[in-house]
Amino acid sequence: MSIIFANAKINIFLAVTGVRSDGYHNLLSLTVPLSLCDKITLLEAGEDIFRTNDATLLGDNIVIKVVKYLKRYVGKNFSIELEKNIPAMAGFGGGSSDGAAILKFLNKYYEINFSEDKLCKIALLFGADCPFFVKNKVALVSGIGEKVAELGGNFRANLAKYNILLFKPNFSVSTEEAYAKLRTRPELYISEDMAMDLVSGLIANVNGFEQILPLFNTFSQIVFDGHKELVSLRETLPCSMMLSGSGSGCFCIFQDPTLEPEIVHVVKFVLGENVFIKKCNVL
């Protein structure tokens, strides 16, 4: 039996720069792996079995798709139990991380020996976030998600000095829904040059350990427009807050750890006592 952990992520910067001729969107993202993890238990079995604590995933999901893809190399059946701790449709990358974690594990354990570049190309078949999770480092991600450039060294160390709280309101936004709405709002696209200027400013602010960071997410206006409670929350919190990805999940990032009780109180007051909220560290 093998235990595999698949971690979450946030985008502390996410700009969509346009639509390609093939219908996909180009983006520039500063993506950060976090300590919150799903747990996958894998065991060779006589037939394929999939169990999970999230009933919405009992159909054809990314874990099953990755296992099916690698059957030609592995030639095994598996009993898989997926314990979901990362909320779905939140922008925290849970499904993509699960798929990439299974891909990397099977490649190593069964000595398929695909290179990291090959794994990234395969991962892209299952989702734009999957190549990031193959590398799983603080990175600038561009193209449609296939270009992953690690931002290590001082920047990663400086970013890790901040405190991060994730939270998800009691509604979800699918990737398909978010991009469909974005196509009706072309004024929200920004140029690649502007995106690079903005992300460079954010990197400089993190390196300077600034209290308030110039976070950016193209989807924030789409999601916040329909949910004024998030606008109110952003204006009330004593820290930087932003949407994480294209889902409904958000994050707070702040210097002073003593602010945490106040932030938790405000989030629960606005979104309800049962709201998902979790403290995380940068991996």
Count CB atoms within 10 A of the CB of residue 23: 8
In terms of Cβ atoms closer than 10 Å to its own Cβ (0-12, 13-18, 19+), residue 200 is: exposed
Count CB atoms within 10 A of the CB of residue 78: 20
Residue 189: φ, ψ to 5°? -70, 145
DSSP 282: B
Count CB atoms within 10 A of the CB of residue 247: 25
The two structure tokens encoding residue 212 = 């308030």
Candidate list 9, 84, 104, 181, residue with the active-site label: 9
Beta bridge partners of 150: 139
Query: What is the pairing mode between strands 139-143 and 147-150?
Result: antiparallel
Letter for the amino acid at 132?
A: F
Q: Check if 279 is active-site.
A: no
User: Distance (Å, rounded) from C-alpha 255 to C-alpha 233?
Assistant: 18
User: Distance (Å, rounded) from C-alpha 66 to C-alpha 30?
Assistant: 26
Candidate list 129, 135, 168, 181, residue with the active-site label: 129
H runs (alpha helix) in the chain: 62-74, 94-109, 116-124, 130-135, 153-159, 175-183, 192-207, 220-226, 228-236, 260-271
Q: Check if 9 is active-site.
A: yes
Active site residues: 9, 129
